[in-house]
């Protein structure tokens, strides 16, 4: 991987191979909705903006909300619905939030684990894994997903905000109404605090569905400025790796836990 150091303590890198791990994201059927028209979005797992839509399954999530200027309310769907979100929201910026329950992955080859944590810029995990005397095969990682999506209803006026997820990416400007000539400022949070020097992966989808895959490292206060282009859709992804805590710690086989923050939005063309 070739890295280019930029100002503001950023690192931008080209990814020449497939990303390790699969993204989990909220994928609106359109990011621009007319007033009185339902906001519709799929929940997807995959890579490079390509994935299979999941149906609405309450057993798979802890939270699935849609936020407007009036506050947040639970998504009103029925089990098995697809798209998972299909309801009318008032004029303004809709902030859709989805938090999954825990899932687990068993590693049978340590090389795959090394590749994953290296891609997520968590090299320290390898040293700690060995320092703890953990096995190098047949060990478990527990993971959970914390996804958000910004959708413009009518004027799209409004602002993203902290929504109380364990980890999240917060847009500090409105991609539908604000000037983005210098990029979209965002902040990465973990347990409500700024997560300094956390890696953010940026996926860019244009009208021809082409995707370019870059990495950025926010500065010490967890802030980053994402370069964007009119007419493109964006997905931001940032992963926390830690020893298991909370419900993950109740799994006797789990030795690592990963928390995936994701944010999707579009830039008007």
Q: 12 vs 64, which has greater pLDDT? A: 64
Indicate whether 21 pLDDT > 70.
no
The predicted model gives 133-147 an average pLDDT of 97
Contact 254, 104 (CB under 8 A): yes
Indicate whether 9 pLDDT > 50.
no
98: tokens are 């989805």
232: tokens are 């493109």
Predicted pLDDT of residue 17: 31
Single out the residue of 46, 263, 43 nearest to residue 147, CA to CA: 263
| 3-class secondary-structure state, position 60 | helix
Indicate whether 235 pLDDT > 80.
yes
CA dist 161 and 3 (Å) reads 31
**What are 169-217's pLDDT values in tens digits?**
999 999 999 999 999 999 999 999 999 989 999 999 997 787 888 888 8
CA dist 125 and 139 (Å) reads 14
Indicate whether 248 pLDDT > 70.
yes
Least confident of 3-17, 28-42, 163-177, 184-198: 3-17
Residue/partner pairs of 5-9 with CB below 8 Å, 24 or more apart: 8/219, 8/225, 9/197, 9/217, 9/218, 9/219, 9/220
Is the Cα dihedral 223, 204, 66, 199 positive or negative?
negative
- φ, ψ of residue 158 to 5 degrees: the values are 140, -170
Predicted pLDDT of residue 159: 97
Mean pLDDT for the chain overall: 90
CA dist 63 and 19 (Å) reads 27
Indicate whether 12 pLDDT > 70.
no
Domain ranges of the chain: 3-266
Q: 207 vs 5, which has greater pLDDT? A: 207
Query: What's the 3-state SS for 207-230?
Result: CCCCEEEEEECCCCCCEEEECCCC
What residues are paired with 151 via a beta bridge?
Answer: 94
The predicted model gives 77-88 an average pLDDT of 97
Q: By CB neighbour count within 10 A (0-12 exposed, 13-18 middle, 19+ buried), where does 38 fall?
A: middle
CA distances from 260 to 52, 53, 148 (A): 18, 18, 11
40: tokens are 């519709």
Q: 267 vs 9, which has greater pLDDT? A: 267
Contact 148, 95 (CB under 8 A): yes
Q: What is the pTM of this model?
A: 0.91
């Amino acid at each position: 991987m070739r890295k280019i150091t930029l100002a503001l303590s950023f690192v931008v890198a080209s990814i020449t191979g497939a990303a390790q791990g699969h993204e989990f994201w909220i994928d609106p059927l359109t990011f621009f909705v007319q007033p009185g028209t339902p906001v519709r979005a799929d929940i997807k797992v995959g890579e490079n903006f390509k994935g299979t839509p999941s149906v609405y399954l309450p057993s798979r999530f802890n939270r699935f909300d849609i936020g407007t200027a009036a506050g947040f309310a639970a998504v009103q769907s029925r089990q098995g619905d697809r798209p998972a979100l299909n309801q009318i929201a008032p004029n303004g910026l809709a902030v859709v939030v989805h938090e999954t329950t825990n899932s687990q992955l068993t590693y049978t080859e340590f090389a795959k684990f090394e590749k994953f944590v290296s891609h997520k810029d968590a090299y320290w995990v390898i040293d700690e894994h060995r320092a703890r005397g953990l096995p190098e095969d047949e060990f478990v990682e527990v993971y959970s997903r914390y996804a958000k999506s910004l959708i413009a209803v009518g004027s799209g006026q409004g602002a993203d905000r902290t929504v109380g997820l364990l980890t999240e990416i917060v847009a500090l400007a409105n991609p539908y109404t604000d000037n983005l000539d210098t990029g979209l400022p965002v902040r990465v949070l973990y347990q409500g605090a700024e997560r300094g020097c956390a890696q953010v992966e940026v996926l860019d989808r244009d009208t021809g569905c082409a995707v370019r895959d870059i990495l950025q490292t926010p500065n010490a206060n967890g802030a980053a400025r994402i370069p964007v282009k009119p007419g493109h859709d964006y997905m931001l992804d940032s992963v926390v790796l830690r020893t298991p805590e909370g419900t993950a710690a109740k799994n006797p086989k789990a030795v690592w836990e990963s928390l995936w923050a994701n944010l999707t939005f579009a830039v008007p063309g």
